[in-house]
Amino acid sequence: MTGIDDLPVRDELRGQSPYGAPQLDVPVRLNTNENPYPLPEALIDRITERVREAARTLNRYPDRDAVELRTALARYLTRTAGHPVGAANVWAANGSNEVIQQLLQTFGGPGRTAIGFEPSYSMHALIARGTGTGWISGPRNEDFTIDVAAAERSIAGNRPDVVFITSPNNPTGTAVDTETVLALYEAAQAAGPAMVVVDEAYGEFSHAPSLLPLIEGRPHLVLSRTMSKAFGAAGLRLGYLAADPAVVDAVQLVRLPYHLSSVTQATALAALEHTDTLLRYVEQLKDERDRLVSELRSIGYDVTQSDANFIQFGRFQDASAAWRAILDRGVLIRNNGVPGWLRVSVGTPAENDAFLEAARTLHKEITA
Ligand code: PMP
């Protein structure tokens, strides 16, 4: 049988594994940081209307520049982050993964490098590989916060072209403070100048104020966002960035023409009309997150500070065995490969109760 290695694939892809969070059919799935709440019926009706309208012109290509959608996203950011931005500051793509890919195609690529502070979102390194960008794994402190002095040294020594900061960080959950972002931005300008991409996929769940005002006067700073988490629309595939208009102009050089389908644009616009309802779910999820943190601590687990819709907890001598024990009780969580730790996404109250029950039983078994 022919295998990958029998094909003339690029050398750097040989022996590698694809992204692969398990998609198992179990009663409680808390492993990919999805929003557990289905979209409300009124929004489903509005999506149907908007998509029906879009279907009338599906013989035509979509608006290549997605102007109406970018305007609506800019309005959302202006309102929620308290800093005025316009469509010229915003660019949208199929999930923030595609936004990140376009950024690396533009600012990374062969002969260039990107740095991330690990453990962090594994796709940054994978997309770097896919775009031929060299990857540098930067350091973190024991408590998973960014070690600023070590990060500055790493940036100065490696002179990367792109610096990734994930805030709140995935899989550890903690937001990065503004001073750290500014310090790393300065280090990246002194060494590079490099682009600094702050991945704020979980920004709406954070206690920390938005970093949006920082893009003013910092043309090398990019914020990456998504509708997959707070908007409960992971299936939609809609991510976006906010930055200086020059960054938006630059990514035009690599984006595929008509990359965002008319159906995607129509659906995202409908969801943005229901922002207030969707953000109320975010508040419920934040309350549930705080409940999970305190219950996990009272069971006896260590919990990393969470500003997101997921929680890293431990410590386990054997995280894989603990992951399996929780799965055996019908709850799928995530083993991100951080030694001693597992990650659980915040679900509905009933799902969280099922998880807590499994976690409680496991803790008794481990400590017996
Ligand atoms: N950034 C981070 C930190 C994430 O955790 C995720 C999804 N797990 C993404 C980006 C990508 O999300 P999407 O492509 O659905 O927007």
Which of these, 329, 315, 363, lies nearest to 30 by C-alpha position? Answer: 329
Q: Which CATH number fits domain 41-274: 3.40.640.10, 3.40.50.2300, 2.30.30.90, 3.40.50.80?
A: 3.40.640.10
Specify the pLDDT at position 21: 72
Helix axes 275-299, 67-81, angle to 10 degrees: 50
Specify the pLDDT at position 269: 98
- What are the boundaries of each domain within the chain? 4-40+276-367, 41-274
- Helix/strand/coil for 43: helix
Q: In a mutational test of the pocket of ligand 1, which residue from 34, 102, 199 has the highest number of ligand atoms less than 8 Å from its CB?
A: 199
The token duo for 55 is: 């279907």
CB 359 within 8 A of CB 343: no
Specify the pLDDT at position 102: 98
Q: In a mutational test of the pocket of ligand 1, which residue from 31, 97, 229, 306 has the highest number of ligand atoms less than 8 Å from its CB?
A: 97
Gyration radius of the chain's alpha carbons:
21
- Helix/strand/coil for 152: helix
Specify the pLDDT at position 12: 85
User: Atom 6, ligand 1: which residue's CA is nearest?
Assistant: 201
pTM for the model: 0.96
The mean pLDDT of 275-300, rounded to a whole number, is 97
CATH homologous superfamily, domain 4-40+276-367? Aspartate Aminotransferase, domain 1 (3.90.1150.10)
Specify the pLDDT at position 80: 92
The mean pLDDT of 11-20, rounded to a whole number, is 83
Residue list, ligand 1 pocket, CB within 6 Å: 33, 95-97, 121, 166, 170, 199, 201, 226, 228, 234, 239
Specify the pLDDT at position 318: 97
